[in-house]
Structure 1
C-alpha cells in the first residue's frame, strides 16, 4: 500500500466573518487508506471539509493535495483535481433518475485507478440498479445516501470525503454503508469519513484524527484508539 501523503493540512485557520472556527489545524491523510475525522458537533469537522473543498476559504495555513497547494483555489478547480464529497444531507438531484444522477457526474479524475462505471456502482449497491429509473425524490434516505456515494465515485476521485456518513440512517442501512466503505478500503480508494460510530470506524479505518474546538487534539491508528476508549467519551461522547 502506498505511503504517499495525499492530503497535508498545516496550521489551518478558517472563520465565518468574525467567528473563527479552525485554530491552527494540522492533519495528514495517506494515499490508499481510509481515515476518520471525529469529534462532537460544532468542533469544526464540517468547516475542515469546506476548507479542503474551497467552499470556506482558509484565512491562513496551508492545504496540500497530491503535493500541490490548493487553499485559495476555486471549489470547481479542487473538484477537478480529484476531491469528491458526499455531503451531509445527500443533496442528490430530486428530479433526475438514479441513472441520470450517476451519469451526470461521470469523469475520470484518477486515471491510474480502475474506472468507476455504472456497472461497478450497481455491483456495489444492487438496490440502485433496481431503482435506476426512479426519480431521486422517490428514494428512501438510505437509498439516497447510496446514490450520493455512487455519484461521488463516478467522478473517479483521488479522495472521497463522506460528511456524516450514516447520519439519520437505520441500523441495517448503516451496515450497508459500512460494507461499502470496507469494499472501498480493500480496493485502495482513499477515503475520509466523518461519523460518530467510533467502534465501527476502528474496524474500517487505519488512521483517526479527533477534533476539539477547531484543533486536532489527538491522532493515531486504530489499535491505539481501541485501547483508549476514554478518548471517545471525552471528545466524541460515545
Structure 2
C-alpha cells in the first residue's frame, strides 16, 4: 500500500521545552490509523506539527511524497490535510450551511467530491438544522458539523483530535458509524481518542506514545492480544 504520510525522527519543542522525541509513524492511502496515549503525552503536538502549526525542530514529515515539515500551515492544508480540532472550534455566529460553505474546496479532483448534499446525507441532522447558528447546536451536532466542515475541503488525510470527547454514548456511536462509512469510501483517517476497544474495530494500525516517544505500534489484531499494553500506556 502506498504511504500517504510518513513521519521520521520528528522532534518538536515549545521554546526550550521539548515535547516530541523521535516521533515516527506511517499511514497508507485508504487506511484508518490511531494515535493513542494518556493526556499530555504529545498527541496534539504531533497533530500540530503535521499541520505546520507548531513546526518541528528536526526530523521529516512526508505527505503525498513531498517533504512538508518546513511548509506553512496554509500550504499543507491546500495539499489536502484537514483536521477536526479538539473542542470543535466551529464558527458560532455562522449557520450550519455557512460553516460548511466557508471551507468548500475541491482540491482532491475526486469523481465524487464532497458537497453540501453529500455532507447532509452523511449527517441528516445537519440538514435539519442547516439554518441554525453554530452556537444553537448541541455538542454532538457541533462535532458532526466540524467533521462535515473538514470533509468539505475534500482532504486526502482527515485528522480527528479527540474525536468523541465529551459526547453522549449514542452520539459517539453516530461518529463511529460516520468514520466507518468514510473508511468504506476509501478516506484516509488519523484518529485520536481514548475508546480503544471501539477503535480496534475501525482502525488498521495504532501508534501509542508516552512522553513524546513511540512505545508501541502495530495492527488491531496485535493490540487486541496485548491488553497489558492498554493498561500500561493508556490506562484501560
RMSD: 0.6
Residue in 2 that maps onto 1:81: 79
Which runs of structure 1 show a deviation greater than 6 angstroms over 4 or more consecutive aligned residues? none
3-state SS of 1:94 partner: coil
What TM-score comes out, normalization by structure 2 length?
0.99
Cα separation, 1, equivalents of 2:113 and 2:145: 17
1:115 to 113, 116, 124: 113
Aligned to 2:152: 154
**Number of matched pairs:** 236
- Offset, 1:113: 5.2
CA displacement, residues 144-179 of structure 1 (integer Å, 9 cap, x when unaligned): 000000000000000000000000001010000000
- Which residue, out of 18, 21, 24, partners 2:16? 18
Q: Distance in 2 between matches of 1:86 and 1:112?
A: 21
Instruction: Return the alpha-carbon distance in structure 1 between the equivalents of residues 156 and 110 of structure 2.
Output: 9
Q: Counterpart of 2:188?
A: 190
Name which of 101, 104, 107 aligns with 1:103. Answer: 101
Q: In structure 2, what is the Cα distance between the partners aligned to 1:56 and 1:93?
A: 23
2:48 paired with 1:50: yes
Aligned partner of 2:235 among 227, 234, 237: 237
Residue 89 of structure 2: aligned partner: 91
Offset at residue 108 of structure 1 (A): 1.0
Q: Distance in 2 between matches of 1:61 and 1:138?
A: 43
- Determine the structure 2 residue equivalent to 1:206: 204
CA distance in 2, matches of 1:32, 1:164: 21
**Structure 1 unaligned residues grouped into runs of 5+:** none
Task: Indicate the residue corresponding to 1:220 in structure 2.
Answer: 218
TM-score, normalising length: structure 1: 0.98
Unaligned 5+ segments in structure 2 are none
CA change 1:122–1:205 in 2 (3 A) is same
> Secondary structure at the residue paired with 1:25?
strand
- State the alpha-carbon separation in 1 of the partners of residues 6 and 111 from structure 2: 21
Q: Which residue of 2 aligns with 1:6?
A: 4
The Cα shift of 1:223 comes to 0.5
Indicate the SS of the match to 1:61. strand
SS in 2 for 1:204: coil
Distance 2:44 2:170 in 1: 25
Q: 1:164 aligns with which of 162, 176, 196?
A: 162
Matches of 2:110 and 2:66 in 1, distance apart?
18
Q: Helix, strand or coil for the counterpart of 1:134?
A: coil
Q: 2: CA distance between counterparts of 1:72 and 1:50?
A: 13
